[in-house]
Structure 1
Amino acid sequence: MQIGGASSYFAPAALLPARPPASAGPPDTSTDSSRAAPTQVSAAQSLIDEQSASAREEADKPSDSSANSDKAKSREGEPSPQQQRLEQLEIAELVSRDQEVRAHEQAHSAVGGRYAGAPTYTFSRGPDGKRYAVGGEVSIDVGAVPNNPEATLRKMEIVLRAALAPAEPSAQDLRVASQAQAQMTQARVDLVEQRRTEAQQARESSAEGAEQDEEATGREESAASSRQERPAPPSLDLYRKLGGLGETTPAIDLLA
């Protein structure tokens, strides 16, 4: 940078005419005129020099402003120290937010297991050009297992733990946890009803078996009693004996 300065100027000393001696005659006009002329010339020269100095100073001023303008242009595009501090604070906040979001969603996914999907993120680009996660989500299945309240109960217990896994659950996390608790309550009711129905069916089946056993026993007893009441068939041995009485005994001749 060039810095213009005012040039120094020393005015020449004025030439004073010498006092003539007392014995001398009247002063010589030509001599006085010749001495006065250099005095006038010196004054004019001083005025010219002063004007030249002012002109040089004015010429130096645009040069200084031009130098300042070049300096400003050289710094153009570079952030100021205050702006740099603001950018650093913004980057630090983005880094913290990125870590928080990733830990939050990974906690959901890890605890949810097969009922949770892979985390998805929403990104924001920072002043440094990098992408930082500023939001995220994990899909999770909160549907009941059809016709199996016991399996639904076990599933909803996992879903509930997954929803509340992060250190600071969000409002959406709390809504999912509430849904899981409602499903668990309904599953308990369905499980009690299912067990009651199974017990009733078992009693009815047992009663039907007892009735069948009683019917079978009754049939057997009826058959036995009918067999006892039926008369025995007549014996033919007596008739055979009576018939044998009328038969003639062959005669045997005895010879003397």
Structure 2
Amino acid sequence: MLVTATSSLPHYYGLYSQAIVTSGDKPLIRTIEPLSGDETANGKQLSADQHRQIQELKSRDQEVRNHEQAHLSSAGGLAVSGVQFKYTTGPDGQRYVSGGEVSIDTSEVPGDPQATLLKAETIRRAALAPANPSGQDQSIAAKASAMANKARTELLMLRQDTSRNGQLIDIKA
């Protein structure tokens, strides 16, 4: 089962770096300045609408990262992968997270309803861990609840069978 959500985080880090450029026999080191908030990688100025769009992308990026981290943290050992992100390129040329998913093992534990019950409860917690669970998250939580109910029923049936063994005595003389 995949638990998927969508959000955003800013990708502007404002880092400085150096580039080594060779001029003849002499390497020259040139500092590369970070982009100002008003220009793109090709030097074009950004419009007010583009700035607004970038802020929305940054916000969505942070939201998705937090959402998926909540799933991953709550899933524990049931997570079969790390977070897989989907990206959108903004008008500034930067990539922003626009969606993501965490794969979680949602299979029952064969022949062990108690383990299945515990697993279903963990799946449900992981699905509902984010502050605003998506429709898909809620669907997964509902399926996990159904799996837990089935495991509870199996446990009750096992306990009843165990309690009946030895209690019923057939006396015929």
- TM-score tier after normalising by the smaller chain length: 0.5 to 0.7
* TM-superposed deviation, 1:200: 2.9
Structure 2: gaps spanning 5 or more residues: 1-42
Question: How do residues 20-59 of structure 1 correspond to structure 2 at under 5 angstroms?
Answer: none
* TM-superposed deviation, 1:195: 1.2
SS state at 1:199 partner? helix
* TM-superposed deviation, 1:78: 5.0
CA contact (8 A) 1:108 1:165 kept: yes
TM-score, reference length from structure 2: 0.68
Distance 1:200 1:138 in 2: 44
Q: Provide the residue aligned with 1:109 in structure 2.
A: 72
Give the count of matched residue pairs: 127
SS state at 1:118 partner? strand
| From 48, 57, 69, the counterpart of 1:85 | 48
2:126 counterpart of 1:162: yes
CA contact (8 A) 1:159 1:180 kept: yes
| From 60, 69, 83, the counterpart of 1:97 | 60
**2:117 aligned partner, one-letter code:** L
**1:188 aligned partner, one-letter code:** R
| From 112, 133, 136, the counterpart of 1:148 | 112
Question: How do residues 1-256 of structure 1 correspond to structure 2 at under 5 angstroms?
Answer: 78-79=44-45, 84-116=47-79, 117-201=81-165, 203=166
Identity percentage over the alignment? 45
* TM-superposed deviation, 1:118: 1.1
Q: Which structure has the highest helix share of the two?
A: 1
CA contact (8 A) 1:109 1:162 kept: yes
CA deviations over 1:109-156 (Å, ceiling 9, x no partner): 000101123110100111221110001111112211111111111111
- Which ranges of 4 or more aligned residues in structure 1 deviate by more than 3 Å? none
CA contact (8 A) 1:108 1:138 kept: yes
Distance 2:164 2:107 in 1: 29
SS state at 2:137 partner? helix
* Larger radius of gyration between Structure 1 and Structure 2: 1
CA contact (8 A) 1:152 1:187 kept: yes
Structure of higher RCO (CA pairs closer than 8 Å, 6+ residues apart): 2
Structure 1: gaps spanning 5 or more residues: 1-76, 208-256
SS state at 2:99 partner? strand
**1:147–1:90 CA distance, 2 compared to 1 (3 A):** same
Distance 1:186 1:142 in 2: 14
* RMSD of Structure 2 on Structure 1 (CA): 2.0
